[in-house]
Structures are given as structure tokens and as C-alpha cells.
Amino acid sequence: MSAATDVGVYLVTDGPLADRHGTGVLGVVRAAVDAGVRTVQVRDKDASARDLLALTAAVADSVGDRATVVVDDRLDVALAARHAGHRVAGVHLGQSDVPVTAARALLGPDAHVGLTANTPAHVDAVAALPRGTVDLLGVGVVHPTATKADHPPALGHAGFARIADLARAVGVPCVAIGGITLEDVAPLRAAGAAGVAVVSGICAAADPYAAAAAHVDAWTLR
């Protein structure tokens, strides 16, 4: 994956938010992918490995080859889903999760390995790794967000741009995440984002298709 990669709108699932209007995670995912979302990160910090595996498999089976599906944090779940034959691209890891080098070794060269980064030091650490270890950086939080209670200090657009510039120099594209609204999409693209990760803006919407389509349109229109 090159630094010029256009990821676009990147949906991060949230069960309680998706249930707010009775849509559910699968309903939100299907609607978002129908609206043009091309990457779905399955995230449930509280689920057991078995339940997260079942959800990941259901998400992957529901979107087929229309979107890239990755699992948040849980390398074991991503490996199990792939072993069972589900179309799961890989994993997105946090700074305290298993090392990205281990994920790459276990998943193989063609899988997706994403990594959360929110400081220049995190980018420097990626630069020191063999090229191709990390495919994508999730950079944030851009704004304070209730979906991640323990988030680091918010970067804002300017802080995101600084990290995106550093990442571009080492050939790794960045997706902005954290409290992102529809109004943030175009400025973040201008700031160097390869995509924008959206949680509540789509998951909590009464009409997730319309919400996702609005974000996709905002990303596409320059």
C-alpha cells in the first residue's frame, strides 16, 4: 500500500451505537458498503474472542469482495477468521497490542496490518521497521471522542497534518480517526489523509446509508 493510497471513508463498528436505532452492526455495515465505504474495521473491545470471531465472520461474509475487512486489536481473531475461510484482510493494532512485526509474520506478506499512531515517535518507530511491515497508520484522535475514553490528547487538523507529513516521508498512508464529523472530511483530506475513519457519524445514524453516502460524497468532492 503506497502513501498515495485512497482509502476513503473507513467505517469502525460500534455495537451499542449501531443498536441505538435497531439497525445492528451488520445492518450498518451493509448500508455503509452499499453507500460506497470500502474498508470496515470490526471493533468490539468487550466481546469474547468467540463472539468477536462470529461477528467478524458475519461482517466479512456480508460484504464479500466489496470492502476490505480488518479486525481491531485481536490478531488471534483475524487469524482464526482467515483460517476458517472468511475474507478478512488482516488486523489493526494499537501501540499496546502484539508487535506489528509478529502480526506481519503470522498473517503473511499479502495481509493488511494497520497501526495506531499519535506521535512523531510512533512514526519514527515505523520508519525503523522493514518496509512493508505496516500498511496503514490510524492517526488520532483528531477531536475528543466518547467512543474511546482513554484517548490521547486531541491532535486537531494541524497536528494530524504534521504526523501525516512524517508518515508520507516513510511511505505509509494515514487515516484520520477520532471524533470526525462530516465537516472534517474535506479539511482532513487536504491535510494529507488517505482516508477518514468514522464511528458514531455512521453507526449512530438513524439512516446509516444516507450518513455513509454523505461522508463518501464529502471525501470525493474536492
Would you say 41 is a known binding-site residue? Answer: yes
Would you say 148 is a known binding-site residue? Answer: yes
Would you say 42 is a known binding-site residue? Answer: yes
Would you say 24 is a known binding-site residue? Answer: no
Would you say 23 is a known binding-site residue? Answer: no
Would you say 101 is a known binding-site residue? Answer: no
Would you say 51 is a known binding-site residue? Answer: no
How would DSSP label each residue in the chain? Answer: --TT---EEEEE--HHHHTTTT-HHHHHHHHHHHTT--EEEE--TTS-HHHHHHHHHHHHHHHTTSSEEEEES-HHHHHHHHHTT----EEEE-TTSS-HHHHHHHH-TTSEEEEEE-SHHHHHHHHTSPTTS-SEEEEE-SS--TT-TT-----HHHHHHHHHHHHHHTT--EEEESS--GGGHHHHHHTT-SEEEESHHHHT-SSHHHHHHHHHHHHH--
Would you say 124 is a known binding-site residue? Answer: no
Would you say 179 is a known binding-site residue? Answer: yes
Would you say 98 is a known binding-site residue? Answer: no
Would you say 199 is a known binding-site residue? Answer: yes
Would you say 37 is a known binding-site residue? Answer: no
Binding-site residues from annotation? 41-45, 72-73, 97, 116, 145-148, 179, 199-200
Binding-site residues from annotation for Mg(2+)? 73, 97
